[in-house]
Amino acid sequence: MVVNKNKSSKPVIEIKEMHKWFGNFHVLKNISLGVNQGERIVICGPSGSGKSTLIRCINRLEVHQQGDIIVNNVQLTGDLKNLEAIRSDVGMVFQSFNLFPHLTVIENCTLAPIWVKKLPKKEAEELAMELLTRVKIPEQALKFPGQLSGGQQQRVAIARSLCMQPKIMLFDEPTSALDPEMIKEVLDTMIELAETGMTMLVVTHEMGFAKKVADSVIFMDEGEIIEQNDPKNFFNNPKNDRTKLFLSQILNH
């Protein structure tokens, strides 16, 4: 396990008694969660448990109907000014990469810094090359996403988010769409990112990753946070029956 020296007790995300409905369907029920700066949290649970919806609420890709979400001391409301400020501080990596197929790798990385952060083009390109080097694909900068493998695309997606120099990174099942031999390269990139002290919320089924880098593991089921614990206790003696069942299903095969 990587010891987290960057963790502080300064909260960057506070979720208080938050509820969300899709139509009449109650997807998130009474969620309360605090994330400190530098903290790494892994969220797992069966499909349909609301874990993706939860992290998508944090940058308001989904709108919650009740309760509070406070990111970087800013309350998430319908106010567009707040929203754009929060979104440029919160990076997100998706299961299906969502790279812009009509732009080259480097254009994917520089688009938002140039237009949202108003960075000069040259600076944005230097930053992008630096981050592409960090995810180990600087030589692909001029290619289009369609010419890269899944693992490479996901690493570009990580670099693209990092180019906005976010304070928080959200990962929504980043390795679920990848072929087995490509999962490792993406996880390695995420582990390196964790070592830099980034605040990370990761929805994943990669329990090895959770054991290695997480400060805290959350188990969700049917829209509720069932259990939250440090990885050691979470995996070795889960308290809730549903957590035990889930762990037995994904670990013993």
Positions in the binding site for another protein (CB under 8 A): 59, 61, 80, 84-85, 87-88, 90-92, 94, 96, 98-103, 111-112, 115-116, 144-147, 157, 160-161, 164
- Its sign, for the CA torsion 250, 202, 63, 100, is negative
Cβ 145 to another protein, closest distance in Å? 8
Least distance (Å) from another protein to the CB of residue 22?
15
Least distance from another protein to the Cβ atom of residue 98, Å: 4
Comparing CB distances to another protein, the nearer of 118 and 122 is 118
Span between the terminal Cα atoms of the chain, in Å: 23
**Residue 169 or 217: which CB sits closer to another protein?**
169
Smallest gap from Cβ 112 to another protein, in A, equals 4
Burial 66-89 (b: 16+ CB within 10 A, else e): ebebbbeeeebeeeeeeeeebbbb
In the bound state with another protein, the residue whose beta carbon lies nearer, of 35 and 226, is 35
Among residues 22 and 100, whose Cβ is nearest to another protein? 100
Q: Which is nearer to another protein, 161 or 216 (CB)?
A: 161
| Nearest-angstrom CA–CA distance, 136 and 132 | 6
User: Among candidates 136, 94, 127, 83, which has minimal Cα distance to 109?
Assistant: 127
C-alpha 151/C-alpha 177 separation (Å) is 9
The least CB distance from residue 48 to another protein, in Å, is 19
Strand, helix or coil for residue 7:
coil
Which of 20/87 has CB closer to another protein? 87
**Cβ contacts of 64 within 8 Å, gap of 6 or more:** 18, 19, 20, 28, 57, 76
Minimum CB–partner distance for residue 115 and another protein (Å)? 5
In angstroms, rounded to a whole number, what is the distance separating the alpha carbons of residues 57 and 91?
13
∠ Cα 217 135 200 (to 5°) = 25
Nearest of 214, 189, 239 to residue 1 by alpha carbon: 214
